[in-house]
Chain A
């Protein structure tokens, strides 16, 4: 299904995302992340340390939600955001020459995307030794502006 433009605008136009994971006891954990959205595969990617709590939680429970929003301190009617729910996959890690072609391409692509989006921040820093890329396969998205909500289900076949 096609994702409405207002959702795409938010996903493309913002720098901070908030990722919520939860462990096997249903204790949520929430962190701000830098992320990129890939319109073609309809997936969200972010980079994190493989030792982080997020990764630990994802290994216990792959369900992940990310929220991206615009906040207006004056007028709540201008608050606008997207919450994307789905499952996460952690890209495998290993020395470059052992990685399959596909993963390698993903790494380069995502890294280039990150570099493009967060130029000022990343500069020319390569991926850290313990960094892994996490992709969120979005299944459902909720959009809100002020008090109005809209939600979209994303089929697995797309």
Chain B
């Protein structure tokens, strides 16, 4: 095992591209550096030479940046070569997490230079122009052009949705639980497998479909391209059909995998101990991907005008839509049921009755004890409309929310959790929008503080204390950005 040196030099003039090699043996990936090329480029933007020691080992070579070396001059050529070599070495060990499509597009110059959203829009434009030119050359009817454009539109909309998977999962912070982390890694491993399994469902749709439209249902091709289509046109249309089928397959592939992942994650999450958990932001990211998939299913309805002459194909599109939507909704629901707090904190939040709200206005802090409820996902507290903290929160919605267990007999058993972040104050407008949520929070208050509620309801109270929901008592939700946890005297920071 030898030791080498990698040099990262900023050679960027306009794009600010930089090359750096980071290699570690047995070092956790996170400690080597951020895995987002953009960050690194930013960091080394100032002309500065970075020396990074390389300790090559066959099974783990990390390549951090292989982007944008177009305007590198000869002087750094050897670094790029070295990069290529190590990237070959690294193949398989460090997953790049790209699908065939992303990989191809990422290599063609005009697309590779753009951010992925613009690159997709450019592809849309490119295909549209190509289609229109072909249409004019071969004298297609306007209907055909509209059909073609619709097909391209569907393909591109699908790309926009599904290609968010890669970037989202690449950014995913590792769960603080060994089992959950393993599951996520396995999920990513299958999703972006080196053998590109994701193309199989696409092929399984594409091949029968091609056979079908060429041998059994010539009407369809006729309505699209006229009676005697040119070979080039046929090729273009086949390409388009493949584009659509490939993405349909991707939709099936990703939604089934997502469903499996959600159920497994939920199952593993039930066995968590102490502070094990997956950060909440990441759970939400997973749910967002699932919701993306719901839209993915709905978009397939746009294909119906293309296939309307064939009853069977229309039925198939409908079943596809229902299948994807159904699976994704279930998956999103299951993910939303994964507890976002680790068990220790969950139990503390679930079991305590009092909390303190810290607010600050123009640098003057303010604290009040409040009662709160926790529905498993969200923390709410109640406050009087007249309360000072509400007046402060309306002007500065930053909050520190502390829940603790105090026990003088044994301080090593004392626990506290601090959520810092923002609040959402429920107002009149939320009544129609979040009626069920507000009702549920109210019910939780009644259940958790029955004596309080009785006391509030019975006696003649000052106006500030009356329990008329919304009118006199305002519901406030805590939206944490950071969680701090103390056990005994030890402080632990828990990622949200």
Contacts and interface: CB of A to CB of B under 8 A. Distances in A.
Q: Do A and B come from one complex?
A: yes
Given A18-B367, A20-B366, A79-B369, A28 B404 contact: no
Contacts of A13: none
> Main SS of the interface on chain B?
strand
A73 B363 CA distance: 32
Contacts of B398: 25-28
B358 A20 contact: yes
Interface string B92-109: 000000000000000000
B366 A75 contact: no
A147 B451 CA distance: 16
Contacts of A73: 353-354, 451
A16 interface: yes
Nearest to A71: B354
Contacts of B451: 73-75
A121 interface: yes
Given A20-B366, A83-B368, A29 B400 contact: yes
Contacts of B420: 27-29
Interface in B406-428: 406, 408-409, 411, 414, 416, 418, 420
A89 interface: no
A20 B360 contact: yes
A85 B361 CA distance: 13
Interface string A70-84: 010111110101010
Contacts of A85: 364-366
15 contacts: A15-B408, A18-B358, A18-B402, A20-B358, A22-B363, A26-B398, A27-B398, A27-B420, A29-B358, A32-B406, A32-B486, A63-B364, A76-B456, A81-B369, A147-B462
Given A63-B365, A69-B369, A20 B400 contact: yes
B367 A20 contact: yes
Contacts of A147: 461-462, 464-465
Contacts of B292: none
A37 B401 CA distance: 24
Contact of A32 (B364, B416, B461): B416
Interface of A: 15-16, 18, 20-22, 24-32, 61, 63-67, 69, 71, 73-77, 79, 81, 83, 85, 120-121, 147
> Main SS of the interface on chain A?
strand
A26 B401 contact: no
A30 B402 contact: yes
B449 to A, nearest CB: 8
Contacts of B406: 15-16, 32
Residue picked from B367, B401, B408, B465, most chain A C-beta under 10 Å: B367
Residue picked from A24, A25, A27, A120, most chain B C-beta under 10 Å: A27
Contact of A28 (B354, B360, B409, B462): B360
B452 interface: yes
Contacts of A29: 358, 400, 418, 420
A65 B366 contact: yes
B402 A32 contact: yes
Interface of B: 353-354, 356, 358-369, 396, 398-402, 404, 406, 408-409, 411, 414, 416, 418, 420, 451-452, 455-456, 461-462, 464-465, 486
Contacts of A21: 365
Given A32-B486, A75-B452, 19 more contacts: A18-B367, A20-B360, A20-B367, A22-B358, A22-B364, A26-B363, A28-B399, A29-B358, A31-B418, A64-B365, A65-B364, A65-B366, A67-B356, A75-B451, A81-B369, A120-B408, A121-B411, A147-B464, A147-B465
B367 A76 contact: no
Residue picked from A22, A69, A75, A79, most chain B C-beta under 10 Å: A22
Contacts of A32: 402, 404, 406, 414, 416, 486
Contacts of B364: 22, 63, 65, 85
A73 B360 CA distance: 27
Residue picked from A20, A28, A67, A77, most chain B C-beta under 10 Å: A28
A32 B411 CA distance: 12
A76 B464 CA distance: 14
Given A75-B451, A147-B462, A30 B401 contact: yes
A28 B418 contact: no
A15 B368 CA distance: 17
Residue picked from A18, A69, A74, A85, most chain B C-beta under 10 Å: A18
Nearest to B402: A30
B229 to A, nearest CB: 65
Contacts of A83: 366-368
Residue picked from A16, A30, A69, A83, most chain B C-beta under 10 Å: A30
Nearest to A24: B363
B397 to A, nearest CB: 10
A73 to B, nearest CB: 5
Nearest to A69: B369
A96 B10 CA distance: 51
Those 8 A-B pairs whose CB atoms lie nearest each other, nearest first: A22-B360, A30-B358, A20-B365, A20-B358, A30-B400, A28-B358, A67-B367, A28-B400
